Amino acid sequence: MMEEDELCFPQLLNTSCKKPKPPHSGAVLLYTLLFFISVLTAALNLLVIISISHYRQLHSPTNLLLLSLAVSDFFVGLLLIPIETLKTGTCWVLGDLLCALYFLIPYILISASVGSMVLISVDRYVAICDPMHYSTRITDKVVTISVCLCWICSVFYGIFILFNHLKQPGRYNSCYGECLVNIAGDVDLVVAFIIPITVIVALYMRVFVVAVSQARAMRSHVRTVTVQNTVTLTTKKSELKAARTLGVVVVVFLICYSPYYYLSLTGGSILVGSSTETFMSFLMYFNSCLNPVIYAFFYPWFRKAVKHIVTLQILQPGSCDANVL
């Protein structure tokens, strides 16, 4: 005689979902890996946040944008990955309203990440294509206001995209113990992917063309520079290196985010909470772990700052004025 499936809510015989079966050894290994990625993502991005916030040398408009990106990535590692991992292998017992609120958090954080990427692209575009006016156009005040607006718009966008579910929670759940929502895929595709990706790609294509021409000009004049021109060339090389590094961040971002919207582009649809959506969500979340790894490879200041933090030099008086550049 076959053993009957256990129910998430035994008292609701006809409307309760069945409990997921205990994970096999492969699933346990996967959950362990996801837990490790979650901890690593939160820890690495916390190091970025502490570094940029603490050291005065790192208080620049570009790094403020990286700080905004690191904050959203930190919460992806701290909240989204572990909760998503737990949700895939257990019954949802927190009710329909909290189910809708739970999906609100990813939309806010992902939208903030996308918005930060757009702002980073604008920053690099002005720095490379209009360097004479960069210091007057891209100020700390302008960037601070832009970052605040980015997060505020992300909150309103999340509420807008999930408004029907917040108003009528659980409308797509087929049984108790399930947590599914559905979204306006066309709207999300255009607002959260097509428009920002178009802006990012267009700006970076322009940055790439200008950067290549500047690099050639620098090589052709390297033997005839004066002391003043040497400073100018050093500044240009620094800006070009920053553009290259942030270009890598943008490319990795596109690779991780594109599959989630691929089905929408081809006319398909994804039920939020399904296994397909879960896999693609984890791919997006993994991008939050890769960003600080990229900084570690390309930014010497990040490696120096991490060394100061790990060795507790950050606790010494006046450490905020330490030379990390």
Which of 116, 23, 26 has the alpha carbon at shortest distance from 76?
Answer: 116
Token look-up 């600080």 returns 292
Higher-scoring residue by pLDDT: 165, 44: 44
| Most confident range, picked from 92-96, 222-226, 259-263, 267-271 | 92-96
Distance separating alpha carbons of residues 65 and 43, to the nearest angstrom: 19
Q: CA of 170: how far to CAs of 24, 159, 194, in Å?
A: 29, 16, 29
Higher-scoring residue by pLDDT: 194, 226: 194
**Per residue in 105-159, pLDDT tens?**
888 998 999 999 899 889 988 988 888 888 899 999 999 999 999 999 999 999 9
pLDDT-wise least confident of 31-35, 54-58, 223-227, 246-250 = 223-227
pLDDT band at 251 (very low <50, low <70, confident <90, very high): confident
| Most confident range, picked from 172-181, 208-217, 264-273 | 172-181
Q: Residue 227: its pLDDT value, please?
A: 46
- Reported pTM: 0.84
Q: What angle do CA 2, 16, 106 make, to 5 degrees?
A: 120
Which of 58, 15, 21 has the alpha carbon at shortest distance from 304?
Answer: 58
Q: Where are the alpha helices (DSSP H) in the chain?
A: 25-54, 61-75, 81-89, 95-129, 134-137, 140-161, 163-167, 185-189, 195-220, 227-265, 275-298, 300-310
**Per residue in 216-230, pLDDT tens?**
776 666 555 544 454
Residue 9's φ and ψ, nearest 5 degrees, are -125, 90
Q: Where are the domains of the chain?
A: 25-321
Q: Residue 92: its pLDDT value, please?
A: 83
**Per residue in 46-65, pLDDT tens?**
999 999 999 999 999 999 99
Calculate what percentage of the chain has a pLDDT beyond 90.
26
CATH superfamily of 25-321: Rhodopsin 7-helix transmembrane proteins (1.20.1070.10)
* Residue 264 reports pLDDT greater than 70: no
